[in-house]
Amino acid sequence: MQSGILLAFAAYFSFACGDATLKAIGHQLPVFEVGFFISLIALVPALFTKRPEDTWPSVFVPKRPGLLAIRMASGTLGGILGVVAFTPLPLAEAYALIFLLPIFVTVFSFVVLKEDIGWRRWLAVLGGLVGVLLVVRPGFREILPGHLAAVGVAICGAITVIVLRVLGPSERRVTLIGAVLVAAVVVNGVLMLPDFKTPPVETWLLLVFGGLVVGLAHLLLVFATRFASAARVAPTQYSQIIWAAVIGAAFFEEFPDWIAMAGMALVGLSGLFTFVREAEKTAWPEKTPLVRNR
């Protein structure tokens, strides 16, 4: 189990590096072009998530295509919104908003799946919302499109989680990961054509790096869940706030004030509590293949 946890921390560090790359190149290229190249390059290492017993024809034939299509749509839209969010916002601030995801999962579980949500989880929802108010401080700071995009990423991620819970173990993880990356390549590839710009050499290097670390992160996450349960692995994603703070300070000169840091901590603790509580009250860790939600 310890190996699985360490692999999970490495996976989410890689995801944080990929998101930092989005921030670094977001001002240099159109949004859809960034999404196209990152997704295309990420496909290479992600293909290694295929198990030896799976055949390539079976990988490309989903068992529940309708739900997989929803997963592809929410993942692709979440990826596009992620570029919009990370480009203008400090990394840690963007993560604080994206980590509203468990709150939306709780609400969607109550509305869509008719799950019984106890008062403790509703209290965690309230705590997460208070944390976001401390981070964003509407009325005292300007609300940017990036803030709305980050909330949109959280909503897309929550939709993905709900879909994965319904899908359960019926689909292979390589199918779930590869389908989203292929959809992102196709959608972004079409949308980038009107405003295509040839990236300079230094931007190409960042695109290749960003795509490879995202693909590697998917691969590490799959291996992590082979050594530890999803319930153990899922909470490690909150380490991304720490990685974001370190990377933001080191490369982008981002230093959140103490109010924002308190809000981020509250959002993280609320989301972490939600995951732990759901693992105790529901069977989602046994039913859900853990993959990134965007």
What confidence tens digit (pLDDT) does each residue in 24-57 have?
Answer: 998 999 999 999 999 999 998 888 877 776 766 6
Can you give the pLDDT at residue 41? 96
Sign of CA dihedral 133, 135, 137, 142: negative
Q: What is the pLDDT tens value at each position of the chain, 294 positions in all?
A: 578 888 889 999 999 999 999 999 989 999 999 999 999 999 988 888 777 767 666 667 788 888 889 999 999 999 999 999 999 999 988 998 898 887 888 788 777 767 777 777 778 778 888 888 888 776 567 788 999 999 999 999 888 888 877 776 677 778 888 889 999 999 999 999 999 999 999 999 999 999 999 999 988 888 887 777 766 777 788 888 889 889 999 999 998 888 888 888 888 788 777 766 666 655 554 555 566 767
User: Which residues is 1 bridged to in the sheet?
Assistant: none
Are 108 and 162 in contact by the 8 Å Cβ rule? The answer is: yes
199 vs 197: CA distance, rounded Å: 6
CA atoms within 13 A on the CB side of 68: 22
What one-character DSSP code corresponds to residue 237?
A: G
Can you give the pLDDT at residue 40? 95
The residues, any chain, with a CB within 8 Å of residue 283's CB and separated by 6 or more, are none
Can you give the pLDDT at residue 184? 95
Residue 273 dihedral angles phi and psi, to the nearest 5°: -60, -40
Residue type, 279: A
Are 91 and 248 in contact by the 8 Å Cβ rule? The answer is: yes
93 vs 151: CA distance, rounded Å: 11
244 vs 93: CA distance, rounded Å: 9
The residues, any chain, with a CB within 8 Å of residue 102's CB and separated by 6 or more, are 124, 128, 158, 270, 271, 274, 275
Can you give the pLDDT at residue 163? 84
Residue type, 287: K
210 vs 206: CA distance, rounded Å: 6
102 vs 27: CA distance, rounded Å: 30
Residue type, 75: G
For the chain, state the CA radius of gyration. Answer: 18
| Helix, strand, coil percent values for the chain (each to nearest 5) | 80, 0, 20
- What is the token pair recorded at 258? 């103490």
Statement: the pTM of the whole predicted model exceeds 0.85: yes
The residues, any chain, with a CB within 8 Å of residue 179's CB and separated by 6 or more, are 62, 68, 71, 72
